[in-house]
Chain A
Amino acid sequence: MTTPMRTRDRQVHGRPGDTPLRVIAEVLHRKREGAYWSISAAAPEVAERARPGQFVNVAVQAQNGLLRRPFSIYRVSRQGPFAGTVEFVFDAHGPGTEWLTRIDSHQLLDIVGPLGSAFPIPQRQVPCLLVGGGYGVAPLFFLAEELTREGFRVDMLVGAATQERIFNVIEAKRMTASVTFTTDDGSFGERGRVTDVLAQVAEDCRTKVVYGCGPMPMLRALSETCGELELPCQVAVEEHMACGIGVCWTCVVPIRAKDGSIRMKRSCIDGPVFNGGRIAWEASRWDTGAPLPPDEAEAPEPERLSDADLWGT
Chain B
Amino acid sequence: MPDAVTIPEERVDLSVELGGLRMRNPITTASGCFASGPEVDRFFDIAELGAIVVKSITLEPREGLPTPRMAETPSGMLNAIGLQNPGVDRWIAKDLAWLRGKDLPVVVSIAGRTVDDFREVARRLRPVRSSLAAVEVNISCPNVEDRNIVFACRAEPSAAVIQAVARELDLPLFAKLTPDVSDVTEIARAVVQAGATGVSLINTTLGMAIDIETRRPKLANVMGGLSGPAIRPIAVRTIFQVHRALPEIPIIGMGGVRTAEDAVELLLAGASAVAIGTANFLDPFATQTVIQGLRTWMARRGYRSVADLRGQVALP
Partner-B contacts on A (CB < 8 A): 1-2, 13-15, 19-22, 59, 64-68, 112, 239-253, 262-264, 269, 284-285
Contact = CB atoms under 8 A, between A and B. Distances in A.
Contacts of A112: 283-284
Nearest to B228: A66
What does DSSP make chain B's interface, helix, strand, loop or mixed? Answer: loop
**Which of B35, B279, B281 counts the most A-chain CB atoms under 10 A from its CB?**
B281
Contacts of B64: 249, 252, 264
B79 interface: yes
A13 B64 CA distance: 33
Interface in B42-87: 42-44, 55, 63-64, 66-72, 74-77, 79, 81, 84
Contacts of A13: 43-44, 285
B43 A249 contact: no
Contact of A67 (B69, B229, B282): B282
B90 to A, nearest CB: 12
Contacts of B70: 240-242, 248, 250-251
A264 B63 contact: yes
B220 interface: yes
A15 B258 CA distance: 22
Q: Is the interface of A mostly helix, strand, loop or mixed?
A: loop
B281 A249 contact: no
A14 B282 CA distance: 15
Nearest to B278: A66
B259 A1 contact: yes
Which are the 5 A-B pairs with shortest beta-carbon distances? A243-B281, A250-B70, A246-B39, A64-B74, A19-B42
A247 B34 contact: yes
Contacts of B6: none
B283 A22 contact: yes
Given A15-B43, A247-B39, A66 B283 contact: no
Given A21-B43, A22-B285, 8 more contacts: A1-B282, A66-B228, A66-B278, A239-B68, A240-B67, A248-B33, A249-B32, A285-B67
B43 A247 contact: no
B68 A240 contact: yes
A246 B37 CA distance: 10
B66 A269 contact: no
Interface of B: 32-35, 39-40, 42-44, 55, 63-64, 66-72, 74-77, 79, 81, 84, 220, 228-229, 258-259, 278-286, 289
26 contacts: A1-B279, A13-B43, A14-B43, A14-B44, A15-B44, A22-B43, A64-B75, A66-B77, A68-B282, A239-B67, A242-B77, A242-B79, A242-B278, A242-B281, A245-B39, A245-B43, A245-B281, A246-B35, A247-B34, A248-B70, A248-B79, A249-B69, A250-B68, A252-B67, A264-B64, A285-B67
Contacts of B40: 245, 247
Nearest to B38: A246
A247 B68 CA distance: 16
B197 to A, nearest CB: 26
Contact of A245 (B79, B81, B284, B289): B284
A15 B284 CA distance: 12
A285 B84 CA distance: 18
Contacts of A242: 70, 72, 77, 79, 278, 281
Q: Which of A239, A245, A262, A285 has the most CB of B within 10 A?
A: A245
B275 to A, nearest CB: 13
Nearest to B73: A64
Contacts of B283: 1-2, 22, 112
Contacts of B228: 66
A245 B39 CA distance: 7
A184 B105 CA distance: 57
Nearest to B33: A247
A313 B67 CA distance: 42
Contacts of A252: 64, 67, 69, 84
Contacts of A2: 282-283
B239 to A, nearest CB: 22
Contact of B76 (A21, A66, A241, A243): A66
Nearest to B45: A15
Nearest to B281: A243
A262 B32 CA distance: 22
Nearest to A63: B74
B69 A250 contact: yes
Nearest to A262: B63
Contacts of B81: 248-250
